[in-house]
């Protein structure tokens, strides 16, 4: 029981420590993300060259925002001319979105993997969103073309990286419907005090359980 108490107390300390940097909220559905943002603009990558190489980096305008996208190598357009996707020329390369203008504090989209032929395949894809307070990393398991993830920060965002989890495999990171926005009034980051109290509550329950077993 002492080990359990120590573990739970350590967990509470971890929660307290990390909450001070918890400035980014993660959303796993498009509807929940859209309800937490304001002034959204979506880049469907219309006009992006399909089945051909596009040199990296690229700068794109969407609504009142502008951003830069870069790849470790170059980009390669996938999908169709009516529904293009942003992908990379080299397997395993990371796509980085940054240099945002317009005070972007939210970003989301469809993130998935494609194979050598540009066809969607089930695979895991890693996303890391960074703001002035730090970064949050999430992995989409068995990502498909309709897999969605969004990040909303209480600060302005610095970057978002998209990387296939299958290192060394013939897998290409692919993005569609990239949405840039501002934080909405409903996307409130939990206060550090609340998380701290939750951690102390866990420790208290463990202590009470220990007393009962004496």
Share of the chain above pLDDT 90, in %: 72
Question: What does residue 42 show for φ and ψ, rounded to 5 degrees?
Answer: -115, 130
The torsion angle over the Cα atoms of residues 180, 182, 188 and 193, rounded to 10 degrees, is 100
Regarding whether 33 and 133 lie in a shared domain, the answer is yes
Q: C-alpha distances in angstroms, 2 versus 8, 120, 138, 201?
A: 10, 49, 32, 17
The pLDDT of residue 189 is 52
pLDDT, tens digit (0-9, with 9 covering 90-100), for 11-48: 333 333 333 345 899 999 999 999 999 999 999 999 99
pLDDT at 182 over 90: yes
The pLDDT of residue 166 is 81
Regarding whether 103 and 7 lie in a shared domain, the answer is no
pLDDT at 50 over 50: yes
Number of domains the chain is built from: 2
Regarding whether 164 and 211 lie in a shared domain, the answer is no
pLDDT, tens digit (0-9, with 9 covering 90-100), for 83-99: 999 999 999 999 999 99
Regarding whether 158 and 81 lie in a shared domain, the answer is yes
Alpha-carbon span 48 to 176, nearest angstrom = 11
- Owning domain of residue 211: 1-22+190-214
Regarding whether 54 and 18 lie in a shared domain, the answer is no
Share of the chain above pLDDT 70, in %: 75
- How many CA atoms within 13 Å lie on the side-chain side of 100? 27
**113 phi-psi bin (left φ>0, alpha ψ -120 to 50, beta other):** beta
């Amino acid at each position: 029981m002492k080990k359990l108490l120590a573990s739970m107390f350590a967990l509470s300390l971890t929660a307290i420590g990390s909450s001070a940097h918890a400035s980014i909220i993660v959303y796993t559905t498009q509807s929940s993300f859209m309800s937490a943002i304001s002034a959204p603009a979506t880049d469907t990558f219309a006009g992006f060259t399909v089945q051909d190489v596009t040199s990296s980096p690229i700068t794109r305008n969407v609504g009142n925002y502008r951003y830069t996208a870069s790849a470790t190598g170059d980009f390669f357009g996938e999908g169709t001319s009516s529904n293009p996707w942003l992908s990379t020329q080299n397997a395993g390369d990371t796509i980085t979105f940054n240099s945002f203008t317009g005070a972007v504090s939210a970003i989301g989209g469809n993130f998935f993997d494609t194979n050598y032929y540009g066809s969607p395949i089930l695979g895991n894809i890693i996303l890391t969103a960074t703001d002035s307070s730090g970064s949050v990393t999430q992995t989409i398991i068995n990502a498909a073309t309709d897999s969605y993830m969004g990040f909303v920060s209480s600060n302005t965002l610095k970057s978002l990286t998209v990387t296939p989890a299958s290192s060394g495999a013939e897998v290409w990171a692919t993005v569609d419907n990239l949405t840039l926005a501002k934080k909405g009034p409903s996307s409130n980051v939990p206060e550090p005090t609340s998380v701290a109290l939750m951690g102390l509550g866990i420790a208290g329950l463990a202590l009470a359980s220990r007393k009962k077993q004496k």
